[in-house]
């Protein structure tokens, strides 16, 4: 059994106590919520924090409230199980409920939180390995080394953004709130991410992600499709989130397409989204849009299955997500 | 005729325990976490041990400096290869391992040093402080590389380059066979190999009890998660130079093995040596990564098969070649090599058969036995090859197989004795239950439907059949002793204690012993206390491998129980004034068959017997019959006292846009003879189907720059419950004459047909062949794109198995053999006076002189 490195565990009772502790402990401390990503990584020595600040008891990070008309606030500490089961989210923000329900296994969804999934460390099968393995092959720049083993000529790290909920939240145009002793800030979720496998978040070390805001939902439909080998447990090797708003006349009013697990950050398929807006969906158009969206997928050989395969599946999954939403639209019209 | 068989030729009335779906005797403790596994064992003053492993796939050790580690406070011992130089290995012919590397490391993970420390943190730190200087050597990572570079020798001892073992056999007249064929086809196949992934990682605890008055200096006890305590006992004794009398090996509860815990391991030997040096107990628990590294998993095998057939599908000759990637050490590899060729003729009646097998060393974790040992790979090749032959000839794949099935009570071309065989019934059952004929008849209608592109899913059905051994006919080291023995002790309170070396690794062997003794003695299984898998306390059983335990330990248990039953019935007959032969045991009493009211309780009978005979202890044992194989060198792999048979139909849905394959259902018929417990048999069939499914579609034992690419159970894909197909288990067959109550094996055979059945179903669904396992979605999609490219597209070529081209002649002397040579041996079928209509109720084994080797009571 791999063992955790030694660390101190601090269990604040309030958000302000948590932010104070995080500031006092400095960059050697890390916040931990469900721990489903951090603790295995600590066992493999990707992280060796001196202290963990437990967020489990913070009431400020709990709760799902609001309505589809006004928008919904989700506490970052809500578990993935509660997100995936929530009737309001399932009915009005299905991309998020589906994505949360697609994370890992039931046991880990019971422990893992939405905030934790959003801030999931980027993944790479040269990096998510034991200390022994990484020592054996030579360390990479993301931890203990200086080069990228996937693309040795590259100056940057290509670890993959692998959180299921992230493309869903991007497609739903969510906003997030970060709190620290220095104050708080709110921003569109896209601004939380950076195209950098090593430092994939704009979150500062002393900040805690506290809330996720979803905008009003009327008129929107959304879905999330995940490519993985198995029905459970696996991280996505492709995540496709699509949100569409259709006009009365059948034209597409707005469209958001976000891809997960194709880069170090969630990727919005802007060209494809623009091509859809104001159009009437036809099979040919959807195929064209899917092909456009897939141009944004640049997989490297650092996740499951082959690069070619992951590349080939991107347009298929985008088109299937669009088909699902358009098909549902047509069905509801014929009702 | 053996006296114990004569005494109790059959059981009067229906079975009370055998054939009933009872829970396992250890079910409650297992599912509630009460069962004690090796890693649960904590002893006073226990130390934590661990191994430093090689980071290089192939390197010479220039120097090892352990000073810093030894000086670290809390470190009690550090050992290296020099401290345990004696070579060992599971097979006497492949003694090529050392507990810790001497001079050279041969794969990433090869143990180099071992440490015992007061806690896991100190252990980890000490392992880091050991300095090893390596001279890195070129690594050979495939069969082709190993053959291309004989000058880079992984083992100096190998006679020829990196060839560990090569064999060559011709049975019957192969040339005449091919000459008689109307049609000949040949194919290449590749099976990538995989790990067992037992849920419990390997672990052991060793305790040395010093005794200055003992010339040996003390006694050693090893608790280990092993399938083969007896073989571990032999090898640890040898390497440590401790006489077997001073060593005790115990297998506690074992959380799965599947063949991966059948070798003696470095961590076991090192724990023992560290315990001896420190005088304190030492525990070593492997990480999941270490389980992948110590491996002994399914061999990657490249195979070539050439078959000649008549127009009607009758096979006239078959030529089979296998190339095994053995990894860095021998392990069971010699046996595995033979197994890739041994059982083809046990499924199909081949009039001429040529087999050439070769195992090479590579710089990868050593391969060994995994469920089906060396036979799933050729089974995949053979059953897909036959499917292709059927297509070529326009024959129904069922008809083609039926023309060639072996017959019960026959001899194969390679000299193996076949007894009971319900293969045809297996085939008929899966065909009927799966709706095979209806499915294929409605094919054109389905195709018309998919012409409307509503769904990308294409369904297909595929089929395969197979054979497996019920216990290896020969032990791993040559000897004439029993393969399994059982002792039973009765106490005057009516308690029954059964002692047997058999090792329950989850398959239920302990439960099976309880059921068999309970049935024989007429008591409930819960009354029976079982002591198993302890080389000091229990008589020998060779181990839980080759599907041998129910058959062999079961027969030994019947013999031991019947000897006690005879004593009980003798005293009961006198007390009840009825003839002993009209007595039967059941429901906790011994009763007069003609008037069950005339009875004694089991306890009364035990007390009468103890008063008459003294302490009530009996023993039984079993060794397989001698004359069940040919008389050529190498004939010892393949023979078995009986063979199980299986057939499988797979229904798959292939997504033609993504290449993803969903196995919707598996129908598996298995000839188990008499199920001792049909619930446990179904569990084994379902477990096999699950494992076969994972091997067919998911598991990838792949390497990157000399390292196992994905040594974790997140990244190494085994199926989850959500992926596992629906499985319909169909038990067929009649009680086998030599099996205990007629039982045959169930633990391994049902896996075999699953993989080719799925491969054949995929072809049936989408018309592309993937001749390489696992059949991952990227391979399927690539094949589909190559087959259906639009004008202007330049798809990648379809996946294809690259043939191995040998520059020289096959590196083994050809052995020619024909079954005519057996006339002097007899046909081996002593008990051909088959019972006409044997029902399960009266299916006790008839007399069998083959069991005469049972030891004295």
Residues B578 and B705 in one domain: no
Q: What is the pLDDT of residue B13?
A: 67
Report the distance separating Cα B473 and Cα B135, nearest Å. 44
Contact B666, B693 (CB under 8 A): yes
Domain annotation covers residue A106: yes
> CB A309 to CB B711 under 8 A?
no
Q: Which residue of A has its CA nearest to B39?
A: A1
- Cα–Cα separations (whole angstroms), residue B524 to B393, B516, B710, B844: 56, 10, 48, 19
Shared-domain flag, residues B74 and B218: yes
Mean pLDDT for the stretch of residues A148-174: 97
Mean pLDDT of chain B: 93
- A284 and chain B in contact, CB less than 8 A: no
Using pLDDT thresholds of 50, 70 and 90, give the confidence band for residue B793.
confident
Say yes or no to pLDDT of B586 above 90: yes
Residue A71 lies in a domain: yes
Instruction: Determine the distance in angstroms separating the CA of A188 from the nearest CA of chain B, rounded to an integer.
Output: 32
Closest CA to B197 of B288, B129, B277, B78: B288
Chain A residues near residue B777 by CB distance under 8 angstroms: 305, 309
> Quick one: tokens of B717?
């894909």
Residue with tokens 């390197």: B59
Closest to B236 measured CA to CA, from B284, B262, B269:
B269
Q: Quick one: B381 and B467 in the same domain?
A: yes
What is the mean pLDDT of the segment spanning B266-280?
A: 98
Nearest residue on chain A to B707, judged by CA atoms? Answer: A137
Query: Where a domain ends, among A56, A82, A102?
Result: A56
Q: What is the mean pLDDT of residues B670-683?
A: 97
Per-residue DSSP letter, B169: E
Do A67 and A87 fall into the same domain?
yes
Check whether B6 has a pLDDT greater than 80. Answer: no
Residues A196 and A307 in one domain: yes
Whether B48 and B103 share a structural domain = yes
**Do B565 and B494 belong together in one domain?**
yes
Digit-coded pLDDT (tens) for B455-464 = 899 999 999 9
State whether A316 and B658 contact (CB < 8 Å).
yes
**Predicted ipTM?**
0.96
Q: How far apart are the first and last CA of chain B?
A: 16
Domain membership flag for residue B629: no
Q: What percent of chain A has pLDDT over 90?
A: 95
How does pLDDT run across B514-536, given as a tens digit for each residue?
Answer: 999 999 999 999 999 999 999 99
Residues A169 and A307 reside in one and the same domain: yes
Q: Least CA distance to A302: which residue of chain B?
A: B709
**Which secondary-structure segment (H or E) carries A321?**
helix A307-334
Q: What is the CATH number of the domain that holds A49?
A: 3.30.43.10
- Considering only CB atoms, A316 lies closest to which of B201, B657, B796, namely B657
Assess whether B445 and B332 both reside in one domain: yes
**What pLDDT score was predicted for residue A104?**
97
Q: Are A21 and A10 in contact (CB under 8 A)?
A: yes
Q: Do A1 and B709 make contact, defined as CB atoms within 8 angstroms?
A: no
Residue found under tokens 């470190």: B75
Query: Is residue B3 predicted with pLDDT exceeding 60?
Result: no
Question: Cα(A235)–Cα(A117) distance, rounded to whole angstroms?
Answer: 11
How much of chain B, in percent, has pLDDT values that exceed 70?
94
Q: How far apart are CA B292 and CA B710, in angstroms?
A: 9
Look at residue B566 and tell me if it is in a domain.
Answer: yes
pLDDT in tens, B158-170: 999 999 999 999 9
The residue-averaged pLDDT of B193-198 equals: 98
Residues A37 and A84 occupy one common structural domain: no
- A6 CB neighbours in chain B (<8 A) are 121
Whether residue A129 is contained in a domain is answered as no
Angstrom CA distances, A256 to A116, A275, A319, B101, B541, stand at 24, 11, 13, 58, 66
Q: Is A72 helix (H, G, I), strand (E, B) or coil?
A: strand
Residues of B with CB under 8 A from a CB of A: 39, 53, 55-56, 108, 120-121, 124, 201, 285, 287, 289, 657-659, 698, 704-705, 707, 709-712, 714-715, 717, 719-723, 776-778, 781-782, 785, 796
Task: Supply the DSSP symbol for B55.
Answer: S
Please state the length of chain B.
857
Same domain, B289 and B335: no
The enclosing H or E element of B587 equals none
Confidence grade of residue B511 (pLDDT, cut at 50, 70, 90) = very high
Q: Is the pLDDT of residue B128 over 60?
A: yes
Whole-angstrom distance, CA of residue B838 vs CA of residue B447? 47
Q: Which of these three, A9, A25, A56, is where a domain ends?
A: A56
Structure tokens at B484: 């399994």
For residue B60 the two structure tokens come to 């010479």
Amino acid A120: pLDDT: 98
Question: B721 to chain A: which residues are within 8 Å by CB?
Answer: 232
**pLDDT surpassing 60 at residue B677:** yes
Helix (H, G, I), strand (E, B) or coil at A136: helix
Q: How far apart are CA B843 and CA B674, in angstroms?
A: 9
Q: Which of B53, B287, B781 lies at the smallest CB-CB distance from A1?
A: B287
Q: What is the 3-state secondary structure (H, E, C) of B650-700?
A: EEEEEECCCCCEEEEEEEEEEECECCCCHHHHHHHHHHHHHHHHHHHHCCC
Q: Which residues between 216 and 245 in chain A have a beta carbon less than 8 angstroms from any beta carbon of chain B? A: 229-235
pLDDT at B855 over 50: no
What is the H or E stretch that residue B796 is in?
Answer: none
Tell me the percentage of chain B whose pLDDT exceeds 90.
Answer: 91
Short-list A305, A219, A230, CA closest to A261:
A305
Neighbours of B91 (CB within 10 A): 17
pLDDT top residue among B451 and B758: B758
Does residue B442 belong to any structural domain of this protein? yes
- Assess A135–B contact: CB distance below 8 Å, yes or no: yes
Q: What are phi and psi of B302, to 5 degrees?
A: -100, 135
Which tokens hold the place of B847?
């007399």
Query: What is the Cα–Cα distance from B495 to B573, expressed in whole angstroms?
Result: 21
- Sort out which chain B residues have CB atoms less than 8 A from A39's CB and list them: none
Task: Identify the pLDDT of residue B854.
Answer: 35
For B26-79, the pLDDT digits (tens) are: 999 999 999 999 999 999 999 999 999 999 999 999 999 999 999 999 999 999
What is the average pLDDT across B347-357? Answer: 98
In a domain? residue B511: yes
Residues A39 and A173 in one domain: no
pLDDT of residue B857: 34
For residue B4, is pLDDT > 80? Answer: no
Judgement on whether residues B250 and B103 belong to the same structural domain of the protein: yes
Q: Is A106 on the interface with B (CB under 8 A)?
A: no
Contact between B104 and B30 (Cβ < 8 Å): no
Residue pair B603/B494 in contact (Cβ under 8 Å)? The answer is: yes
Residues A30 and A100 in one domain: no
The pLDDT score that the predictor gives to residue A331 is: 66
Closest Cβ opposite residue B289 in set A132, A137, A309: A132
Count other Cβ atoms within 10 Å, centred on residue B385. Answer: 25
Q: Go through chain A and tell me how many residues it has.
A: 335
- For the stretch B277-297, pLDDT in tens is 999 999 999 999 999 999 999
Is the CB of residue B556 less than 8 Å from the CB of residue B486? yes
CATH at B565: 3.30.365.10
pLDDT at residue B839 tops 80? no
B331 in the same domain as B252: no
Tokens of B772: 């390489």
Which residue in chain B has the smallest CA separation from A234?
A: B714
Chain B CB contacts of A129 under 8 Å are 711-712
Residue closest to B682 by CA, chosen among B22, B3, B187: B22
Interface test with B, best of A129, A294, A321, A324 (most B CBs within 10 A): A129
Give B714's contacts in chain A (Cβ within 8 Å).
233-235
* A133 touches B: beta carbon within 8 Å: yes
Nearest Cα to B117, choosing from B72, B159, B82?
A: B72
- B589, B729: one domain: no
Return the bridge partners of A240, or none. Answer: A225, A259
Confidence of residue B503 (pLDDT cuts 50, 70, 90): very high
pLDDT for A311 beyond 80? yes
The Cα of A294 is separated from the nearest Cα of chain B by a number of Å equal to: 15
Classify residue A13 as exposed, middle or buried by CB count within 10 Å of its CB (0-12, 13-18, 19+). Answer: exposed
Closest in A137, A305, A313 to B776, CB measured: A305
Q: Are residues A178 and A215 in the same domain?
A: yes
Residue B274: how many CB atoms within 10 A of its CB? 29
User: Are B778 and A309 in contact (CB < 8 Å)?
Assistant: yes
pTM for this model (two decimals)? 0.95
Residues A318 and A213 in one domain: yes
Number of domains in chain A: 2
Together in a domain, A37 and A81: no
> Do A79 and A218 belong to one domain?
yes
Please say if the pLDDT value at position B831 is more than 90. Answer: no
Structure tokens at B509: 């062997």
Q: Coil, helix or strand for B206?
A: strand
Strands B218-224 and B203-210: antiparallel
CA angle at B215 for the pair B211 and B219, rounded to the nearest 5° = 45
Q: Which of B657, B707, B715 sits opposite A137 (nearest CB)?
A: B707
Instruction: Report pLDDT for B108.
Output: 98
Residue A44 lies in domain? 1-56
**Cβ contact B720–A305 (<8 Å):** no
**Which residues of A fall within a CB distance of 8 Å from B50?**
none
Are both B660 and B738 inside the same structural domain? Answer: yes
* Among the partner residues B201, B711, B721, nearest to A133 by beta-carbon distance: B711
User: For residue A14, is it within any domain?
Assistant: yes
Query: Does the distance separating the beta carbons of B719 and A137 come in below 8 Å?
Result: no
Residues B345 and B464 in one domain: yes
Q: Which two tokens stand for residue B453?
A: 């592109």
Question: How many domains does the structure of chain B reveal?
Answer: 3
Q: Do A309 and B723 touch (CB under 8 A)?
A: no
Alpha carbon distance B685, B646 (integer Å): 10
- In angstroms, what separates the C-alpha of B299 from chain A's closest C-alpha? 22
- Are A73 and A213 in contact, with CB atoms under 8 Å apart? yes
Same domain for A175 and A48: no
Tell me which of B749, B766, B787 is where a domain ends. Answer: B787
Check which CATH number belongs to the domain holding A182 and give it: 3.30.390.50
Would B793 be classed as within a structural domain? no
Residue A264 maps to a domain: yes
Residues A231, B722: C-beta atoms closer than 8 Å: yes
Q: What is the pLDDT of residue B451?
A: 58
Residue A332 reports pLDDT greater than 70: no
Q: How confident is the model at residue A281 (pLDDT cuts 50, 70, 90)?
A: very high
* Per-residue pLDDT tens over the stretch A43-67: 999 999 999 999 999 999 999 999 9
Q: In Å, what is the CA distance from A72 to each residue of A10, A119, A219, A322?
A: 31, 20, 15, 24
CA atoms of A118 and A191, how far apart (whole Å):
12
**Residue A46 belongs to some domain of the structure:** yes
Is the pLDDT at A86 greater than 90, yes or no? Answer: yes
How far apart, in whole angstroms, are the C-alpha atoms of residue B686 and residue B677? 14
> Strand, coil or helix: what is B852?
coil
Question: Residue B837's pLDDT is what?
Answer: 36
Q: What is the CATH number of the domain that holds B63?
A: 3.90.1170.50
DSSP assignments along A255-319, one per residue: EEEEEESSSSS-EE-HHHHHHHTTPPP-HHHHHHHHHHHHTT----SSSSS-HHHHHHHHHHHHH
Q: Which residues of A touch B48 (CB under 8 A)?
A: none
B361: containing domain: 301-473+637-787
CB contact under 8 A, A132 and B55: yes
pLDDT digits (tens, 9 = 90+) for B418-460: 999 999 999 999 999 999 999 999 987 777 766 555 789 999 9
CA pair distance B88, B109, nearest whole angstrom: 18
Chain B residues touching A305 at Cβ < 8 A: 776-778
**Final residue before a domain boundary, out of A56, A82, A98:** A56
Q: Do A309 and B659 touch (CB under 8 A)?
A: yes
pLDDT digits (tens, 9 = 90+) for B361-412: 999 999 999 999 999 999 999 999 999 999 999 999 999 999 999 999 999 9
Residue whose tokens read 């799933």: B376
DSSP string covering B70-103: HHSTTEEEEEEGGGS---B-SSTT---B-SS-SS
Determine the distance in angstroms separating the CA of A1 from the nearest CA of chain B, rounded to an integer.
5
pLDDT at site B731: 97
Which one-letter DSSP state was computed for residue A59? G
Indicate if the pLDDT at residue B703 is higher than 90: yes
Residue B856 has pLDDT above 70, yes or no: no
Q: Do the domain assignments include residue B805?
A: no
- A154 is a domain residue: no
Q: CA–CA separation, B725 vs B689, rounded Å?
A: 9
Distance of CA B383 to the CA centre of its chain: 20
Same domain, A47 and A179: no
| Element counts in chain B: helices (H) and strands (E) | 22, 32
């Amino acid at each position: 059994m791999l063992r955790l490195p030694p660390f101190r565990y601090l269990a604040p009772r309030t958000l302000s106590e948590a932010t104070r502790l995080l500031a006092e402990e400095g960059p050697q401390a890390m916040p931990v919520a469900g721990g489903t990503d951090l603790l295995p990584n600590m066992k493999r020595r990707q992280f060796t924090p001196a202290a963990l600040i437990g967020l489990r008891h913070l009431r400020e990070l709990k709760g799902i409230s609001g309505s589809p008309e006004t928008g919904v606030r989700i506490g970052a500490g809500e578990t993935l199980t509660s997100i995936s089961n929530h009737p309001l989210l399932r009915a009005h923000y299905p991309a998020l409920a589906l994505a949360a329900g697609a994370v890992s296994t039931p046991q880990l969804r019971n422990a893992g939180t939405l905030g934790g999934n959003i801030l999931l460390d980027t993944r790479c099968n040269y990096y998510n390995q034991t200390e022994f393995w990484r020592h054996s092959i030579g360390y990479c720049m993301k931890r203990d080394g200086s080069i990228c083993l996937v693309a040795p000529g590259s100056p940057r790290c290509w670890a993959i953004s692998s959180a299921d909920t992230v493309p869903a939240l991007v497609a739903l145009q969510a906003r997030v709130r970060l709190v620290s002793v220095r104050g708080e800030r709110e921003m569109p979720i896209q601004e939380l991410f950076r195209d950098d496998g090593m430092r994939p978040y704009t979150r500062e070390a002393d900040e805690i992600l506290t809330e996720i805001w979803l905008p009003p939902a009327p008129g929107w439909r959304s879905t999330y499709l995940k490519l993985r080998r198995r029905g459970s447990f696996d991280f996505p090797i492709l995540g496709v989130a699509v949100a569409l708003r259709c006009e009365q006349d059948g034209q597409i009013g707005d469209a958001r397409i976000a891809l997960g697990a194709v880069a170090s950050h969630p990727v919005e398929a802007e060209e494809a989204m623009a091509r859809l807006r104001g159009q009437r969906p036809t099979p040919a158009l959807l195929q064209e849009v899917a092909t456009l969206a897939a141009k944004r997928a640049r997989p490297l050989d650092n996740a499951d299955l082959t690069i070619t395969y992951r590349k080939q599946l991107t347009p298929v999954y985008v088109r299937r997500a669009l088909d699902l939403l358009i098909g549902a639209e047509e069905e509801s019209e014929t009702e | 005729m053996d006296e114990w068989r004569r005494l109790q030729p059959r059981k009067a009335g229906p079975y009370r325990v055998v054939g009933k779906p009872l829970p396992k005797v250890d079910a409650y403790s297992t599912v509630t976490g009460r069962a004690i596994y090796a890693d649960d064992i904590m002893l006073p003053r226990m130390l934590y041990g661990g191994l430093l492993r090689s980071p290089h796939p192939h390197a010479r050790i220039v120097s090892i400096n352990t000073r810093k580690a030894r000086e670290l406070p809390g470190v009690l011992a550090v050992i290296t290869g020099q401290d345990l130089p004696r070579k060992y290995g599971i097979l006497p012919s492949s003694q090529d391992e050392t507990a810790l590397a001497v001079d050279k490391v041969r794969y990433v993970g090869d143990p180099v040093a071992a440490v015992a420390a007061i806690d896991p943190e100190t252990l980890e730190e000490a392992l880091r402080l050991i300095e090893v200087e390596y001279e890195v050597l070129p690594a050979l990572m495939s069969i082709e590389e190993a053959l291309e570079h004989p000058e880079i020798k992984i083992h100096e001892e190998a006679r020829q380059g990196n060839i560990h073992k090569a064999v060559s056999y011709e049975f019957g007249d192969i040339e005449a066979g091919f000459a008689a064929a109307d049609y000949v086809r040949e194919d290449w196949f590749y099976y990538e190999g995989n790990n067992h992934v037992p849920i419990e990682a390997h672990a052991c605890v060793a305790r040395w009890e010093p005794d200055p008055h003992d010339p040996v200096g003390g006694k050693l006890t090893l608790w280990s998660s092993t399938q083969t305590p007896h073989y571990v006992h032999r090898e640890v004794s040898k390497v440590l130079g401790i006489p077997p009398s001073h060593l005790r090996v115990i297998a506690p509860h074992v959380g799965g093995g599947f063949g991966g815990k059948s070798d003696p391991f470095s961590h076991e030997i090192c724990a023992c040596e560290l315990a001896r040096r420190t005088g304190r107990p030492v525990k070593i628990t492997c990480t999941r990564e270490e389980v992948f590294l110590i491996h002994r998993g399914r061999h990657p095998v490249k195979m070539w098969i050439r078959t000649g057939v008549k127009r009607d599908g009758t096979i006239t000759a078959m030529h089979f070649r296998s190339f095994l990637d053995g990894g860095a050490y021998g392990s069971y590899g010699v046996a595995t090599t033979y197994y890739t060729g041994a059982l083809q003729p046990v499924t199909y009646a081949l009039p001429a058969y040529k087999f050439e097998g070769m195992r090479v060393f590579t710089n990868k974790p050593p391969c060994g036995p995994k469920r089906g040992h060396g036979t799933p790979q050729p089974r995949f090749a053979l059953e897909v090859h036959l499917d292709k032959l059927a297509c070529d000839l326009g024959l129904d794949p069922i008809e083609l197989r039926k023309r060639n099935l072996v017959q019960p009570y026959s001899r194969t071309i390679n000299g193996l004795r076949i007894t009971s065989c319900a293969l045809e019934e297996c085939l008929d059952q899966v065909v009927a239950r799966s709706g095979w004929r209806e499915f294929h008849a409605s094919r054109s209608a389905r195709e018309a439907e998919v012409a409307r592109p509503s769904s990308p899913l294409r369904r297909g059905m595929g089929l395969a059949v197979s054979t497996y051994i019920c216990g290896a006919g020969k032990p791993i080291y040559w000897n004439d002793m029993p393969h399994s023995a059982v002792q039973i002790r009765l106490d005057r309170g009516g308690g029954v204690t059964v002692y047997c070396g058999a090792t329950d690794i989850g398959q239920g062997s302990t439960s099976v012993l309880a059921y068999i003794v309970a049935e024989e003695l007429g008591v409930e299984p819960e009354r029976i206390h079982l002591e198993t898998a302890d080389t000091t306390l229990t008589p020998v059983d060779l181990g839980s491998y080759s599907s041998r335990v129910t058959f062999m330990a079961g027969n030994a248990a019947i013999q031991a129980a019947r000897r006690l039953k005879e004593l009980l019935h003798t005293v009961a007959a006198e007390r009840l004034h009825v003839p002993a032969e009209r007595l039967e045991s059941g429901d906790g009493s011994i009763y007069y068959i003609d008037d069950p009211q005339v009875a004694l309780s089991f306890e009364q009978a035990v007390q009468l017997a103890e008063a008459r005979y003294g302490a009530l202890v009996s023993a039984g044992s079993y060794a397989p019959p001698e004359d069940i194989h040919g008389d050529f060198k190498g004939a010892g792999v393949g023979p078995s006292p009986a063979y199980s048979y299986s057939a499988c139909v797979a229904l798959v849905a292939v997504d033609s846009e993504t290449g993803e394959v969903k196995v919707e259902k598996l129908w598996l018929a298995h000839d188990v003879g008499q199920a001792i417990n049909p619930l446990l048999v179904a569990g084994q069939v379902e477990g096999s189907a699950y494992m076969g499914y994972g091997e067919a579609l998911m598991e990838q034992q792949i390497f990157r720059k000399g390292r196992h690419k994905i040594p974790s159970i997140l990244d190494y894909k085994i199926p989850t419950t959500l992926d596992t197909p629906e499985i319909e288990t169909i038990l067929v067959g009649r009680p086998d004459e030599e099996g205990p109550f007629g039982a045959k094996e169930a633990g391994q055979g049902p896996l075999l047909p699953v993989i080719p059945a799925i491969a054949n179903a995929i072809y049936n669904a989408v018309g592309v062949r993937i001749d390489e396992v696992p059949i991952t979605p990227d391979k399927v999609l690539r094949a589909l794109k190559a087959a259906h490219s639009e004008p202007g597209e330049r798809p990648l070529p379809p996946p294809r198995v690259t043939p191995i081209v040998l520059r020289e002649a096959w590196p083994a002397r050809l052995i020619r053999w024909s079954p005519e040579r057996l006339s002097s041996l007899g046909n081996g079928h002593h008990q051909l006076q088959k019972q006409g209509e044997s029902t399960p109720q009266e299916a006790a084994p008839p007399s069998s002189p083959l069991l005469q080797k049972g030891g004295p009571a």
